[in-house]
Amino acid sequence: MLGEIIAIGDELTSGRVLNSTSRFAAAQLFASGHEIIAMTTIGDDEELIGRTLRLALERAEFVVVTGGLGPTSDDLTNAAVSAALSRPSTLYPEILRKIEAHGRHLPSERRLAMEKLAWLPLGAHALHSEAKSAGYFLVHAGKPLFFLPGVPQEMEELLLETVITRLAVWEGEEVRQVRQKLFKITGLAESEINRRLAHLEGEGQRLKIGYYPVFPEVHLSLTVSAPESREAEAIITESAARVAALLGEDCYGEGDDTLEEVVGRLLAERGLAVAVAESCTGGLIAHRLTRVPGSSAHLIGGVVAYSNSLKEQILKVNPETIARHGAVSGECAEEMAEGIRALAKADLSLAVTGIAGPGGGSEDKPVGTVWFALADRAGARSFLHRFPGDRHQVQALAAQTGLDLLRRHLLARRAARTDSGQN
């Protein structure tokens, strides 16, 4: 179907905030077989919202509107919809009850403001049964309109959970069955992935490959469509297997997987506990590992040894090592890894020390120089990387690379064990 996306918010038209939700919606809708005529971004202006909506209704078969649904006085979307489509604002008692139930602990002014969310244009259906977030659905002039919150996470959830399904149902019998699979890749540039998979794309319109750089990773979506569900399943299974084979270990996971989850899963499978010693990443690796529920089972903890004195005092790095090779060196990284492993009584440990910038670089060790070390009972090994970018990018790339080193190390160990089992 032909769709239009409208994003509402003064923060967008003033350039203060980058509109990433429209792009997310366009990519997902496109992958589900829809075509986007236009993506329009306008400010919080009741009359303009109404005019834009009416224009979209003229030229598109469905419309997705994001933003302006909140409880504050500059959230004007509902009022604009009511006025533009002559659908008076109506109290939805069921939504009100849910807001009251969820908002019991809120101060009364806050609760009163929230009540605004229970007033929707006549004919609206709440999209989320739990009323966890605003968002509704409306059929006008025979066309489906979706109104979603502007907060990216809420918007993305509702789009994936409800909008795409409702559009498929809407299309009725003529719906083409669409199947999608997402591959997550780290340590490989988009152009290299493209090169590996280019020959797959020539295989006709029923197979589409999309590349989404999500720094510091690349995500790849594989979309197939077919008239029948069984056929779609068969094509996606077969082509996903080919993509997986072409990507090999560079693909760390699929769908909702995160790198830290995959590392946690591998640690759990191997029955190993890990500890981390971080300098330039400042705790980011440990934090990413603790984002995974239940991570306390395989993460003992870590040390953020930002100063040399902490490296020496807690991690027992030899002061001579730092004097001779510098704190950013393979030698120091290995001693940090050995130190945290002994201190935390961990099976496996990871250490990172580098120069995140903007200062601190030299000709020998420019900004972006990062040493990693892994230690287990077989000893420690170190790895050197040079990352491009600013301080935040170097930190993010270093954390990502550290986690990926753990992942590849654990994969190799598993493979080794399987091999020896076969002998």
Distance CA 230, CA 232 (A): 5
Q: Which of 187, 301, 330, 361 binds a copy of itself (CB under 8 A)?
A: 301
Q: Does 161 bind a copy of itself (CB under 8 A)?
A: no
Q: Does 417 bind a copy of itself (CB under 8 A)?
A: no
Quick one: 13 or 89, whose CB is closer to a copy of itself?
A: 13
Q: Does 271 bind a copy of itself (CB under 8 A)?
A: no
Contact 217, 185 (CB under 8 A): yes
Residues 98-137 that bind a copy of itself (CB under 8 A): 107, 109-110, 113-114
Q: 151-163 in b/e burial notation, b at 16+ Cβ within 10 A?
A: beebbbbbbeebb
Q: Cβ 347 to a copy of itself, closest distance in Å?
A: 13
Q: Which of 54, 199, 291, 324 binds a copy of itself (CB under 8 A)?
A: 291
Q: Cβ 422 to a copy of itself, closest distance in Å?
A: 36
Quick one: 96 or 411, whose CB is closer to a copy of itself?
A: 96
Quick one: 36 or 411, whose CB is closer to a copy of itself?
A: 36
Which of the stretches 81-89, 264-272, 302-310, 407-415 binds a copy of itself when contact is defined by CB under 8 A?
Answer: 302-310
Instruction: Tell which residue, 86, 7, 75, 5, has the closest CA to residue 38.
Output: 5
Q: Which of 165, 229, 237, 309 binds a copy of itself (CB under 8 A)?
A: 309
Q: Cβ 412 to a copy of itself, closest distance in Å?
A: 25
Q: What is the DSSP string of 156-181?
A: HHHIIIIIHHHHHHHHGGGPPEEEEE
Which residues does residue 145 pair with via DSSP β-bridges, in sequence order?
63, 138
In the shown chain, the binding pattern of residues 185 to 224 toward a copy of itself, with x for contact by CB under 8 A and - for none, equals ----xxxx-xx--x--x------xxxxxx-x-----x-x-
Q: Which of 78, 133, 180, 321 binds a copy of itself (CB under 8 A)?
A: 180
Q: Cβ 421 to a copy of itself, closest distance in Å?
A: 31
Residues 231-270 that bind a copy of itself (CB under 8 A): none
Quote the tokens at residue 253: 């996971």
Q: Does 66 bind a copy of itself (CB under 8 A)?
A: no
Burial of 314 from C-beta contacts in 10 A (0-12 / 13-18 / 19+):
middle
Residues 373-402 that bind a copy of itself (CB under 8 A): 391-392, 395
Q: Does 47 bind a copy of itself (CB under 8 A)?
A: no
Contact 374, 411 (CB under 8 A): no
Q: At what angle do helices 21-31 and 164-171 cross, to 10 degrees?
A: 40
Distance CA 339, CA 325 (A): 17
Q: What is the DSSP string of 209-231?
A: EEEEEETTEEEEEEEEEESSHHH
Which of the stretches 91-99, 168-176, 281-289, 368-376 binds a copy of itself when contact is defined by CB under 8 A?
Answer: 281-289
Contact 221, 31 (CB under 8 A): yes
